[in-house]
Structure 1
């Protein structure tokens, strides 16, 4: 029997957190609730979790800060849950490393579906790293970048750069298909999959995060270029 997936719920409203916990547990997940942003790091050190359900408006430390800190240390799906519905908040959250975004009030069934979708996506990406290595090159070089395909590492010069699963998969996809323009929709379908609930605007946020890591000047990208009206292209 497979081990149950464990979800860390970060939510200061106990009524909401109890609803989240009840629905997640009834769907086969194990859960733990923390109510302050400052408690997240310790919880992640004490126990293994497969996904973080993260509210934005938290006492002690905001969800934005928590998201950044999680992404700087471990690679785990982060699903942001917030009352804020403005696109700028969504973009900011995704830009800090969140994988998905759901706004309050939400249908608990949708929350469960999003959790499952994010976990499936992470497992799919991890599975690729072990199942497809025989068909892929060991290393891809692009200017001063070295992409170690099998070990999922990226070096700029002699410095290793941390890449979460999705960012690495996007960079690898472009590196293996250089000088070809791909639309946001094509990238979304390739990386996130047809059954994923989301939108192609997410691609833009991930592209920007990748540029901040690989470009000498992310505002004037030379490697991962925007082709206006068409999509993106990696120049090799």
Structure 2
């Protein structure tokens, strides 16, 4: 996978690039926001799988760069920054960042997050709210069948009516069974908004899904983190 590393500190960039290269990534280093935007132009070679974006850049704020990236490409963006406050996290996710990692971080966690967003955002595939643009294989989880193109869900062959957001939430979790989705991540991807004031809405939708599907154990609460879908035994 090609990866664009946007980092103005050459020492930090060199160390991280070396680690990423050992794990099979082809790393391009951009030292400023403008360099990053130029590297993302369509005539600069094969597309990047992920952008690692520092916020403290010399020419423009990383938030601004993220907004400009999102206007021209759907390439996943992970913000990697020392800004640990909640408002910065929310602002970054609202601008279209796929994830937000605070320095100092564990390298293993960063690699896991890179792989997670690259699996979730494959070029040409639709997201949870855009599943009617072309054919897609249904998702089968034990007795649960999720048909993405028609947005239909059935359990043991019986149709289960879901609201739009209930379907989007279930489809998001079902695309990666066993993977824990953070609450903030779910809110950002399904509701396209920030966590503030929306947490109760998520809890209500989770409870409704458990009730409608009559499978309370299907969606597991991971205390203090978020939720994951537990695939039923076949």
What interval of TM-score do these two structures reach, taking the shorter chain for normalisation? 0.5 to 0.7
Find out whether 1:205 has 2:212 as its counterpart: no
Find out whether 1:39 has 2:35 as its counterpart: yes
CA drift at 1:121:
2.0
Question: Aligned partners of 2:62 and 2:104: how far apart in 1?
Answer: 18
CA drift at 1:206:
3.0
Partners of 2:133 and 2:149 within 8 A in 1: no
Find out whether 1:230 has 2:204 as its counterpart: yes
1:158-211 Cα offsets, whole Å, 9 max, x none, are xxxxxxxxxxxxxx7996564377499856523565325x5112222234437x
Normalized per residue, the structure richer in helix is: 1
CA drift at 1:117:
1.7
| Aligned-partner SS, 1:40 | helix
CA drift at 1:50:
1.2
Question: Aligned partners of 2:97 and 2:150: how far apart in 1?
Answer: 22
CA drift at 1:149:
2.6
- What are the within-5 Å matches in structure 2 for residues 65-84 of structure 1? 65-84=64-83
Runs of 5+ consecutive residues of structure 1 not aligned to the other structure: 130-139, 141-145, 153-171, 211-225
Q: Where does structure 1 differ by over 4 angstroms across 4 or more consecutive aligned residues?
A: 172-178, 183-188, 226-229
- What are the within-5 Å matches in structure 2 for residues 105-124 of structure 1? 105-123=104-122
User: Against the structure 1 CA distance between its residues 27 and 227, is the aligned structure 2 distance closer, same or farther, given a 3 Å change threshold?
Assistant: closer
Question: Aligned partners of 2:94 and 2:201: how far apart in 1?
Answer: 21
Question: Aligned partners of 2:39 and 2:93: how far apart in 1?
Answer: 22
1:35-73 Cα offsets, whole Å, 9 max, x none, are 111211111112321110001111111111111111111
Q: Normalising by the residue count of structure 1, what TM-score does the alignment of the two structures yield?
A: 0.63
- What are the within-5 Å matches in structure 2 for residues 156-235 of structure 1? 176=152, 178-179=162-163, 182=166, 189-190=173-174, 193-195=177-179, 198-209=181-192, 230-231=204-205
Question: Aligned partners of 2:172 and 2:132: how far apart in 1?
Answer: 23
Q: Normalising by the residue count of structure 2, what TM-score does the alignment of the two structures yield?
A: 0.64
Find out whether 1:29 has 2:17 as its counterpart: no
1:81-115 Cα offsets, whole Å, 9 max, x none, are 00011111111111100101111001122212211
Question: Aligned partners of 1:183 and 1:111: how far apart in 2?
Answer: 29
User: Against the structure 1 CA distance between its residues 209 and 17, is the aligned structure 2 distance closer, same or farther, given a 3 Å change threshold?
Assistant: same
